[in-house]
Amino acid sequence: MKFKKILLVSLFAAILLTSTVSAGLFDLGSDSNNERINVTDLNIKSQGYSMYEVTCNLVPKENFTYLEMQVNFYDSDNAVIGKDSMVWNINNPVEGETIKVSGTAMTDSSSTTPARAEVYFYDEPLSDTPENALYHETVNMTN
């Protein structure tokens, strides 16, 4: 009887954990996490020699004193091959205005090609905690 209770409790815990993860409660700033800014047309284009142009349109949904974009690059084995902490920034963006964002991000080596990039927007200088991002999007890179 004791074994059945333990099994039942373990099964219930596994179902609860699975439903919590699938509901996105552990999501670190997914595309739907844009209550404060709207980011569209995100594009990353190789410029050669480990440099990548990152562009998008950004519309703040409130007034900010500061915004910045960070880009992290990963290879096909999910190893970090570049972290660029301040690809783009702006002071005092105004609610409702469309901002054409354009910046250059770099990988650590021109001999490694990124498989994906993680793009983050923050409202604090040099933030690097994904949980604090205003917006996060994964961009799968193609050669």
Q: In percent, how much of the chain has pLDDT > 90?
A: 67
pLDDT at 24 over 80: no
Q: Residue 50 carries which side chain, given as an amino acid letter?
A: S
**What 8-state DSSP symbol labels residue 65?**
S
- Span 114-134, mean pLDDT? 94
The pLDDT, as a whole number, for residue 128 is 82
The DSSP bridge pattern shows strands 66-74 and 51-60 to be: unpaired
DSSP string spanning 27-61? -SS-TT--SSEEEEEEEEEEEETTEEEEEEEEEES
Burial class (CB in 10 A: 0-12, 13-18, 19+), 15: exposed
Q: Could you tell me how far CA 2 lies from the centroid of its own chain? A: 46
Lowest average pLDDT, out of 80-84, 105-109, 110-114, 137-141, goes to 110-114
Q: Could you tell me how far CA 137 lies from the centroid of its own chain? A: 4
Global pTM reads 0.75
Residue 134, phi-psi category: left (phi > 0), alpha (psi -120 to 50), beta (remainder): alpha
**What 8-state DSSP symbol labels residue 132?**
G
pLDDT band at residue 110 using 50, 70 and 90 as cut-offs: confident
The pLDDT, as a whole number, for residue 123 is 96
pLDDT at 11 over 90: no
Average pLDDT for the chain: 82
Stated as kind and residue range, the H or E segment containing 136 is: strand 135-140
Confirm if 59 and 98 have CB atoms less than 8 A apart: yes
pLDDT band at residue 26 using 50, 70 and 90 as cut-offs: very low
pLDDT band at residue 33 using 50, 70 and 90 as cut-offs: low
Lowest average pLDDT, out of 14-23, 40-49, 132-141, goes to 14-23
Say how far apart CA 88 and CA 103 lie, in whole Å.
Answer: 5
